[in-house]
Chain A
């Protein structure tokens, strides 16, 4: 029987593995991995090798020809994506990315360094696909594909949120997120995905959104918001569903419709559209802006995304407006046009209120709601009473996908500053293109993964705590549905006292609507601050 260790032994022994990193296999302890994809969710969309299995078991029930599947999968992708071949060949392991990953910073696990995480795949590429690797083996940083390697891939590529912070620092511009995307595709070929992703994909494919909410329930939730908006403002609004001939189709992540605090953001959109008299409709079929297909394969991302254009065509709208979401915008901004476009049947988006033509969306035909609202404010089309948000000392989290995937920095800040009087930025190295991930993106926001998420979210939370201590910040705004959910949890653990808001919830609070009664509460039902000193602040 082992003797009890002394504190010095507990504290000191890092227990360095006896073998090198290439031969150190993963210990699948509960809480360090997300639940595996269930067979029915894979089969629902035609993914292969659906079965009941657990990462904790020795036997992962891989198909007999699994090695050939992986080899062919790599070969196919090397031919299809020139970027992948470059990313495999060009890295000189300089280490510039090493300490930029939030998971590495939070965990200290060397295999969370982007360079080493990529090396998990790159070493197989070298060992199996390059002459130098085949001849020189370990000397060339190459190794052979084994079942243990596949398990390691599953462990670490589902500990990357595809946030791309590391790629900002890479002198060669290697997009590590894309390496993770390819690695996940390869795993997916073997039926190795996580259920939080696979279930959402299956639901989205069959019912139109991640949660599998059917059209009547979707409409029911919006009706519920209509009641709540009336209770707060006295204004009754009438959104339309699946209405043919509307000018604009509005699509947002389903988290805004069903999950708090995103629901308040949804109310903000609805209030804004009513106030400016936008001719828009919601679709109960394209009822999801998010695209978890992106975390399985490019083909699945394309299939899920296709409903946006399909629904725009069916309803005969002129252009599309998209809600506050993260990876939805990476899919829309970077992939939609070439995947399912060109959307020649749509018109170049033009604001019916200001006349502004959104040239940047002339190809995709889809405009970001924050950009749309910023234009409204800039043109003085909204009556805003920013004092209604005076109880909030606000900071802003740049969502990874909109910042690094779109270069979208100024518009959200402009809107926030127009509706909030107290705004403080987090430190420079933690915002804009250097923003830290919430730690829960790319389909990892499941509850069984909570510890890893808290670890990964530490660098972000650490910067929020700084502005909380320095400026008394009590509110964190963002433009991503996963952020709204994940940051709420993150703040509750690391920085209690900071609440999370969608930008359009703030807009909804500040918006002075025609015919509204005196507001006593904000959209959350909390008493409005300073109601004794109401004054219009036309902007």
Chain B
């Protein structure tokens, strides 16, 4: 029996545990706030993470479609990518699913319901999720550098044009650079 099917009935519980582990990476005061405040605008990190984790699990236990999983993954990782965390720490939450799954299936494994091959298959899916997370993280960091460059360009481009440090093709209106 696939591990996904075994875990499916306990998805809500799994989500709560996953989110709980996630919040423990923050200072105790912050972790308490992340869990307590249910208003999504008063608690953007907590609520965005919780709802995105729910979306990830829905898809993960369902069809596991790349496109559907990238969006919620992005929501979480976009935050982690600017929280002064090393990439390893920023993405560790994905791998926690392996530990959690084993904790949740403790009884099942002892009863022989789960084969080694099932575990390997589950782990491979988590690994796939982790690899996708790496893609998202890299993209977020690239975006961060791009917007930093664009901001500098937006601030000075018109001055450079006027100082004729930049000369555009005659007849074209000057335009701001991409942003």
Instruction: Tell which of A108, A224, A494, A524 touches B162, judged by Cβ atoms closer than 8 Å.
Output: A224
- Comparing A129-137, A274-282, A407-415, A457-465, the segment that makes contact with chain B is A457-465
> Are A258 and B158 within 8 A (Cβ)?
yes
A228 within 8 A of B: yes
Nearest CB of chain A from residue B172's CB, rounded to whole Å: 10
> Are A260 and B79 within 8 A (Cβ)?
no
Nearest CB of chain B from residue A197's CB, rounded to whole Å: 16
- Comparing A8-16, A292-300, A340-348, the segment that makes contact with chain B is A8-16
B152 within 8 A of A: yes
Nearest CB of chain B from residue A432's CB, rounded to whole Å: 13
Sort A-B residue pairs by CB-CB distance and give the 5 closest, nearest first.
A7-B95, A108-B30, A11-B92, A10-B92, A260-B176
Nearest CB of chain A from residue B78's CB, rounded to whole Å: 7
Nearest CB of chain B from residue A195's CB, rounded to whole Å: 15
Nearest CB of chain B from residue A344's CB, rounded to whole Å: 38
Closest to B94 in A: A7
> Are A16 and B45 within 8 A (Cβ)?
no
Instruction: Tell which of B45, B96, B147 touches A492, judged by Cβ atoms closer than 8 Å.
Output: B147
Docked Cα-Cα span, A463 to B44, in Å, equals: 9
In chain A between 1 and 28, which residues have their CB closer than 8 angstroms to a CB of chain B? 5, 7-8, 10-14, 16
In chain A between 433 and 478, which residues have their CB closer than 8 angstroms to a CB of chain B? 447, 450-452, 454-455, 458-459, 462-463, 466
> Are A427 and B159 within 8 A (Cβ)?
no
Instruction: Tell which of A7, A10, A108, A458 touches B27, judged by Cβ atoms closer than 8 Å.
Output: A108
In chain A between 197 and 212, which residues have their CB closer than 8 angstroms to a CB of chain B? 211
Docked Cα-Cα span, A290 to B33, in Å, equals: 36
Instruction: Tell which of A106, A113, A462 touches B41, judged by Cβ atoms closer than 8 Å.
Output: A462
17 A-B pairs whose Cβ atoms sit less than 8 Å apart in the complex: A8-B92, A11-B96, A13-B25, A14-B27, A14-B28, A99-B42, A106-B82, A108-B34, A110-B29, A217-B163, A427-B41, A452-B82, A454-B82, A462-B40, A485-B151, A493-B144, A524-B176
With A12-B24, A14-B25, A462-B41 already in contact, 14 other A-B pairs whose C-beta atoms are closer than 8 Å: A10-B89, A11-B92, A12-B25, A16-B27, A16-B28, A32-B84, A98-B33, A108-B30, A108-B45, A110-B30, A260-B155, A260-B158, A261-B154, A458-B79
In chain B between 160 and 177, which residues have their CB closer than 8 angstroms to a CB of chain A? 162-163, 173-177
B48 within 8 A of A: yes
Closest to B126 in A: A7
Known contacts A8-B96, A451-B82; is A492 also within 8 Å of B179 by CB? yes
Known contacts A11-B89, A12-B25, A430-B41; is A489 also within 8 Å of B151 by CB? yes
> Are B30 and A488 within 8 A (Cβ)?
no
> Are A525 and B41 within 8 A (Cβ)?
no
Chain B residues with CB under 8 A of A493 = 78, 82, 143-144, 147
Docked Cα-Cα span, A494 to B82, in Å, equals: 11
Chain B interface residues toward A at CB < 8 A: 21-22, 24-31, 33-34, 37, 39-45, 48, 78-79, 82-84, 88-89, 92-96, 98-99, 143-144, 146-148, 150-152, 154-159, 162-163, 173-177, 179
A68 within 8 A of B: no
Chain A residues with CB under 8 A of B21 = 11-12
Which one of A224, A258, A463 has the greatest number of beta carbons of chain B within 10 Å?
A258
> Are B148 and A105 within 8 A (Cβ)?
no
Cβ contacts A102-120/B at 8 Å (1 or 0 each) = 0011111110010000000
Chain B residues with CB under 8 A of A263 = 158, 176
Chain B residues with CB under 8 A of A339 = none
Docked Cα-Cα span, A452 to B83, in Å, equals: 8
Known contacts A260-B179, A454-B144, A455-B83; is A492 also within 8 Å of B173 by CB? no
Chain B residues with CB under 8 A of A211 = 159
> Are B83 and A108 within 8 A (Cβ)?
yes
Chain B residues with CB under 8 A of A452 = 82
Chain A residues with CB under 8 A of B146 = 492
Instruction: Tell which of A12, A228, A458 touches B44, judged by Cβ atoms closer than 8 Å.
Output: A458
Instruction: Tell which of A228, A259, A455 touches B155, judged by Cβ atoms closer than 8 Å.
Output: A259
Closest to A211 in B: B159
Cβ contacts A202-230/B at 8 Å (1 or 0 each) = 00000000010100010011001000100
A31 within 8 A of B: yes
Docked Cα-Cα span, A391 to B126, in Å, equals: 43
Nearest CB of chain B from residue A143's CB, rounded to whole Å: 19
In chain A between 313 and 367, which residues have their CB closer than 8 angstroms to a CB of chain B? none
> Are A109 and B179 within 8 A (Cβ)?
no
Nearest CB of chain B from residue A227's CB, rounded to whole Å: 9
Chain A residues with CB under 8 A of B44 = 105-106, 458-459, 462
Closest to B34 in A: A108
Docked Cα-Cα span, A31 to B79, in Å, equals: 16
Chain A residues with CB under 8 A of B93 = 11
Chain B residues with CB under 8 A of A427 = 41
> Are B158 and A221 within 8 A (Cβ)?
yes
A69 within 8 A of B: no
Nearest CB of chain B from residue A307's CB, rounded to whole Å: 22
Known contacts A14-B27, A221-B158; is A105 also within 8 Å of B92 by CB? no
Docked Cα-Cα span, A525 to B172, in Å, equals: 11
Chain A residues with CB under 8 A of B156 = 258
Docked Cα-Cα span, A455 to B143, in Å, equals: 14
Closest to B37 in A: A99
Closest to B173 in A: A525
Closest to B140 in A: A493
> Are A488 and B159 within 8 A (Cβ)?
no
Closest to B79 in A: A458
Instruction: Tell which of A106, A217, A261, A489 touches B176, judged by Cβ atoms closer than 8 Å.
Output: A261
Docked Cα-Cα span, A174 to B123, in Å, equals: 53
Known contacts A11-B21, A11-B22; is A258 also within 8 Å of B83 by CB? no
Docked Cα-Cα span, A426 to B152, in Å, equals: 29
Chain A residues with CB under 8 A of B41 = 427, 429-430, 459, 462-463, 466
Nearest CB of chain A from residue B127's CB, rounded to whole Å: 11
Nearest CB of chain B from residue A215's CB, rounded to whole Å: 14
Docked Cα-Cα span, A82 to B23, in Å, equals: 41
Which one of A14, A231, A430, A463 has the greatest number of beta carbons of chain B within 10 Å?
A14
Closest to A484 in B: B154
A29 within 8 A of B: yes
Docked Cα-Cα span, A10 to B83, in Å, equals: 15
